[in-house]
Amino acid sequence: MSRISVRGFAVASATAVTTVGAVVGVATGDPTNDLETTASGATLLADIPVGDQAQVQSASLTQQADAIAHAADVDAKRSTEEAARLQAAEDAKSKKAEAEKEKAEADAKAKKEREEKEQAASRSGRDAGDFALQSSYTVAQVKAIAQQMVPAGQFQCFSNIINQESTWNYLAVNKSSGAYGLVQALPGSKMASAGADWRTNPATQIKWGLNYMEDRYGSPCAAWSFHQNNGWY
């Protein structure tokens, strides 16, 4: 049987030595409680009265249990802190994703509003009332008016429809249906919503026709696409 001494008491056994000082050293982190080889003045379990040995062993086991419990508490605290850190990171990630989504939606809304304003601005060209009424108009004069009223990007489509419907004759009448004017409104009196002079003023007819194409199809080009597929609009 070997004997290991600590600063205080030691427990000897046939296979291993459990020391009171070692347990205290582990629990407190005091390096002075490390095991030491037997030296003069050290007190061994064998030197303690038999009646007190059980008390010394019980104290040693209690200290070991306290050390284990302390280590468990440290591990539990560390696990709780790590879980809180991970949750905080996940919350931050979710908040960032939500903020990015809101920003994307706001940007899309702003873009749509900007496009609508630009589209409205493109439509706010000269109005029918901006042109002096004449007794008659040439095809070139009618086209010149239309170019000032129809958005630039839509003029060719608008022109294609007018070419098909009336060849730019603002007095054109369809003998079969009675459709009238540049855009061949049916009946022609529909164009009165754009002006009382709809029969003789090409600007009024252009205004009505442009509004019709935009309201019904979204734009002259969309109206022209429909016209190509169906032969009417």
| 139 and 210 fall within a common domain | yes
Q: Across the chain, which distance is largest between two alpha carbons, in Å?
A: 137
| 109 and 166 fall within a common domain | no
Q: State the amino acid at position 140 in one-letter form.
A: A
Q: What is the pLDDT of residue 63?
A: 86
CA distances, 208 to each of 39, 125, 126, 163, 199 (Å): 116, 14, 13, 17, 12
| 173 and 200 fall within a common domain | yes
Q: What is the pLDDT of residue 62?
A: 87
Domain stops at, among 89, 118, 147: 118
Residue 2 lies in a domain: no
| 82 and 135 fall within a common domain | no
Answer for the pair 31, 7: CB distance below 8 angstroms, yes or no.
Answer: no
Please state the domain count of the chain. 2
Q: In the chain, which stretches have pLDDT less than 50? A: 1-29, 31-42, 124
Q: If we measure between CA atoms, which residue out of 51, 49, 54, 41 comes closest to residue 8?
A: 41
Domain of residue 19: give its range.
10-118
Domain stops at, among 118, 139, 173: 118
| 69 and 112 fall within a common domain | yes
* HSE-CB of 178 using CA atoms within 13 angstroms: 5
Q: What is the DSSP string of the chain?
A: ----B-SS-EE--SS--EEHHHHHHHHH--GGGS-B---TT---GGGS-HHHHHHHHHHHHHHHHHHHHHHHHHHHHHHHHHHHHHHHHHHHHHHHHHHHHHHHHHHHHHHHHHHHHHHHHHH-S--GGGS---S---HHHHHHHHHHHS-GGGHHHHHHHHHHHTTT-TT-B-TTT--BTTTTBSSGGGGGGT-TTTTT-HHHHHHHHHHHHHHHHSSHHHHHHHHHHHS--
Query: In the beta sheet, which residues pair with residue 180?
Result: 173, 185
Residue 196 lies in a domain: yes
Q: What is the pLDDT of residue 44?
A: 58
Q: What is the pLDDT of residue 61?
A: 83
Residue 97 lies in a domain: yes
| 109 and 145 fall within a common domain | no
Q: What is the pLDDT of residue 118?
A: 56
Q: What is the pLDDT of residue 154?
A: 96
Q: What is the pLDDT of residue 38?
A: 44
CATH of the domain at 147: 1.10.530
In tens, the pLDDT along 72-100 reads 989 899 989 999 999 999 899 888 998 89
